[in-house]
Amino acid sequence: MTSGSSPVAGPVAGSRCGFVAVAGAPNAGKSTLVNRLAGAKLSIVTPKAQTTRFRILGIMLRGESQVLLVDTPGIFTPRRRLDRAMVAAAWTGVRDADVTLLLVDAKAGANAAVRAVATTLATQGRRSWLVLNKIDLVSPPGLLPLTASLTSLAPFEQTFMISASAGDGVDALADALAQAVPDGPHLYPDDELTDLPDRLLAAEIVREQIFLQTHEEVPYGTTVETDDWQERKDGSVRIDATVYVARPGQKAILIGEGGKRIKAIGAAAREELTRLLERKVHLFLNVKQRAGWDEEAARLRAIRLEDPSSSGSPSLARWGETC
Ligand SMILES: Nc1nc2c(ncn2[C@@H]2O[C@H](COP(=O)(O)OP(=O)(O)OP(=O)(O)O)[C@@H](O)[C@H]2O)c(=O)[nH]1
Ligand SMILES: [Mg+2]
């Protein structure tokens, strides 16, 4: 996987390039769709809501088009500073995009969270498309009233019905996106898949396992940071990461009896990282209790979130400088 370099100009003749934000309520399948369109696992996916915490770029090449897909955190009513930063990151992604896809879980339907996002997109006059996802879970007749109720809230240019996990309808969406982005040079090298640096990828893969292997408030009380990354002469890499938890009880659950849980989290994350980085990985996890980490600007910056209380946020073009 290549990552982390600054945008560069690519070939110009006939080429197209633009940003497409994938937005919506938590758990709609945004990261699943971005991974599928980019053709690689870039953004973590779990069955729990609020998995994605910051914007991740997935780069799709299709014909002459480079489509810069922006996976965003789900939009929900924020309580903590972390939540506010997540939601702000999502809206920044939308603001800087040429087109926004409102991705909707067709099974969950037009609930209050989805309706609120649709209404805001309309108010802001964003160029938006409606994408109903998880159509494998609903019967086709239910999709028409859902489309009607959402298109009454915002002037969507187009509507697509897909299954991001199974792939149905995704090709048609990819073709339409390739046509929709504006003429212009490619902003990233054509062999690049993402802007996600490997250190951040490692932290995300550990967090994915925490989301998969712990429950209730534990995953939400946790953040992961890569502290050290050492390339070894034998081609392997040693990664040291810290898992911060908000409360002592969460630390006990995360570690588990005799360290069983944290060992299982580390083993699964190491396996996944070995696959993604295509080399041997030695992963060392250190669990630290730190009350109020979710209100700390430094913890948010570590996962490239802006402090929502400070003014301004970086444009997408400046991502490389902020991480
Ligand atoms: N059945 C079905 N499940 C899907 C589909 N797309 C995604 N999922 C599942 O939905 C869950 C959430 O997927 P994510 O891609 O993490 O959703 P998200 O919108 O990125 O979620 P947040 O980052 O929490 O906002 C996962 O369990 C996915 O496997 C689909 O088309 N069909
Ligand atoms: Mg996500």
- Return the pLDDT at 321: 28
Rounded distance from Cα 257 to ligand 1 centre (Å): 31
Task: Tell me the pLDDT tens digit for each residue of 79-124.
Answer: 999 999 999 999 999 999 999 999 999 999 999 999 999 999 999 9
The closest ligand to the CA of 164 turns out to be: 1
The closest ligand to the CA of 75 turns out to be: 1
Q: Which residues line ligand 1 (CB under 6 A)?
A: 26-32, 45-47, 49-52, 73-74, 133-134, 136-137, 163-166
- Return the pLDDT at 290: 98
Phi–psi pair at 24, nearest 5 degrees: 155, -170
Whether 217 has a pLDDT exceeding 70, the answer reads: yes
- Return the pLDDT at 3: 46
In this structure, are residues 115 and 141 in contact, taking their beta carbons and an 8 Å threshold?
no
Task: Give the closest residue to 233 by CA, choosing from 279, 174, 176.
Answer: 279
Average pLDDT, the chain: 93
Instruction: Give the three-class secondary structure for 237.
Output: strand
The closest ligand to the CA of 87 turns out to be: 1
In this structure, are residues 35 and 213 in contact, taking their beta carbons and an 8 Å threshold?
no
Task: Tell me the pLDDT tens digit for each residue of 142-162.
Answer: 999 999 999 999 999 999 999
Whether 165 has a pLDDT exceeding 50, the answer reads: yes
Torsional class of 237: left (φ above 0), alpha (ψ -120 to 50), beta (otherwise): beta
* Pure H helices in the chain: 30-38, 81-95, 112-123, 143-151, 170-180, 198-213, 248-255, 260-277, 297-302, 319-322
Structure confidence at residue 12 as a pLDDT band (50, 70, 90): low
Rounded distance from Cα 89 to ligand 2 centre (Å): 13
Rounded distance from Cα 50 to ligand 1 centre (Å): 11
Residue of 22, 27, 132 to mutate, ligand 1, most atoms within 8 A of C-beta: 27
Rounded distance from Cα 25 to ligand 2 centre (Å): 10
Instruction: Give the three-class secondary structure for 63.
Output: coil
User: From the alpha carbon of 32, which atom of ligand 1 is closest?
Assistant: 15
Q: What is the mean pLDDT of residues 66-90?
A: 97
Q: What is the mean pLDDT of residues 213-219?
A: 97
